[in-house]
């Protein structure tokens, strides 16, 4: 396969030995980047990234993604600068809006305007990394004459914005160095997002050639797709039942709008198993199949405009996927 290819860790890393084994495998199989996904309330991501900075030598290290609510921009900049220095300039910082139910519902942090929260945090982070003395106020944090008391390896760390809807995609085109498209994004939706991004980049006077379009690909390597499709239907039913997100993926992907209502009615039932999700839909939202089929699917995403596909296998299958789908 030509082009960059990344691989990500699902949550559940047991210990440093397992992390080292998996990271070394990814590096030995020539993955250009290794990504850590942030999931509350599981393993803390910057701790993992710090370990990866020492374990590996060449791959870029990506965070997909933290948010502007749970990490004060001063702490975010400290963590990013530290990992970037430990890794000698290999960090890619990913930032996204997270979910209101998690932020405001479970953690009781005011939600406010998530786009403003993202843009404020991007500005504060970049100014702090440049060595500025920063005074700023956002709706959930303040900075009063704050500057980093450390040497940075780079004063500009690449920042990718997780985006699905048009407002966040537009913000990414305006302010970020790249975008992280949602896991479970079908190729049909990706084509819409890429075209939208290119239009917005042009409006902002930016070149699309220097803008990274990454996409997380939920990957299931198997010689018998039917054996895993059933388990994937439930996850996809939950995803498409998320208000707003389901509409964005389905409508902008050109799917039947009535389909999402049928799926949501099924999701509300007790012991919902996702049987309302057509098997062929699962195969569009996941990368499923043997190594030949999975590689063909990765190339479909590249042709749709993705410059950095990021494989996300189940942790138990990480070593096999890293070996069989290596670039």
C-alpha distance from residue 315 to each of 247, 253, 302 (Å): 29, 29, 24
| pLDDT recorded at residue 249 | 83
Q: Which residue has the tokens 């039917």?
A: 226
User: Do 213 and 307 contact (CB within 8 A), yes or no?
Assistant: yes
pLDDT value at 31 more than 60: yes
Q: Are 266 and 276 in contact (CB under 8 A)?
A: yes
The number of beta carbons lying within 10 Å of the beta carbon of residue 303 is 11
Q: How far apart are CA 295 and CA 8, in angstroms?
A: 16
Has residue 25 got a pLDDT over 80?
Answer: yes
pLDDT tens figures, 88-114: 999 999 999 988 888 889 889 998 999
295 has pLDDT over 90: yes
Looking at 14-18, 138-142, 161-165, 256-260, which range is the least confident one? Answer: 256-260
Range scoring the smallest mean pLDDT among 34-48, 53-67, 268-282:
268-282
**Contacts made by residues 15-21, CB under 8 angstroms, sequence distance 24+:** 16/51, 19/48, 19/51, 19/52, 19/55, 20/51, 20/55, 21/319
| Bigger pLDDT: 255 vs 23 | 23
pLDDT of residue 272 exceeding 70, the answer is no
Confidence (pLDDT) at 151: 94
Token code pair at residue 23: 């990271």
Residue 270 has pLDDT above 60, yes or no: no
Coil, helix or strand at residue 100 = helix
What structural domains does the chain harbor? 6-223+290-324 (3.20.20.30), 226-284 (no CATH)
* Radius of gyration of the chain measured on its C-alpha atoms: 19
Question: Where would I find the beta strands (DSSP E) of the chain?
Answer: 6-9, 33-37, 60-64, 91-95, 134-137, 142-146, 159-163, 178-181, 212-221, 287-289, 308-313
Longest pairwise C-alpha distance within the chain: 59
């Amino acid at each position: 396969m030509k082009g960059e290819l990344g691989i990500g860790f699902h949550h559940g890393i047991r210990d440093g030995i397992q992390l080292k084994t998996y990271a070394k495998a990814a590096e030995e199989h020539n993955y250009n980047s290794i990504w850590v996904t942030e999931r509350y309330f599981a393993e803390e991501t910057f701790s993992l990234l710090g370990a990866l900075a020492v374990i590996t030598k060449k791959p870029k290290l990506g965070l997909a993604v933290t948010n502007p609510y749970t990490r004060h921009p001063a702490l975010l900049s400290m963590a990013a600068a530290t990992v970037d220095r430990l890794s000698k300039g290999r960090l890619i910082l990913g930032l996204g809006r997270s979910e209101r139910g998690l932020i405001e519902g479970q953690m009781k942090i005011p939600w406010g305007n998530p786009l403003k929260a993202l843009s404020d945090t991007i500005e504060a982070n970049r100014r702090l990394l440049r060595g500025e003395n920063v005074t700023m106020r956002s709706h959930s944090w303040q900075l009063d004459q704050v500057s980093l008391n450390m040497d940075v390896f780079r004063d500009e760390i690449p920042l990718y914005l997780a985006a699905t809807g048009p407002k966040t995609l537009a913000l990414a085109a305006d302010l970020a160095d790249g975008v992280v498209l949602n896991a479970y994004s079908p190729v049909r939706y990706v084509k819409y997002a890429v075209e939208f991004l290119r239009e917005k980049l042009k409006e902002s006077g930016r070149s699309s050639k220097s803008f990274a379009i990454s996409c997380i690909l939920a990957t299931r390597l198997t010689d018998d797709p039917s054996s895993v499709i059933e388990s994937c239907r439930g996850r996809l039913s939950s995803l498409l039942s998320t208000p707003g997100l389901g509409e964005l993926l389905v409508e902008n992907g050109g799917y039947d709008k009535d389909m999402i209502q049928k799926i949501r009615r099924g999701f509300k039932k007790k012991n919902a198993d996702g049987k309302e999700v057509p098997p062929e839909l699962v195969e569009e939202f996941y990368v499923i199949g043997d190594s030949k089929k999975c590689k063909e699917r990765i190339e479909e995403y590249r042709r749709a405009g993705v410059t950095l596909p990021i494989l996300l296998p189940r942790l138990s299958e990480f070593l096999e996927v890293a070996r069989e789908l290596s670039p």
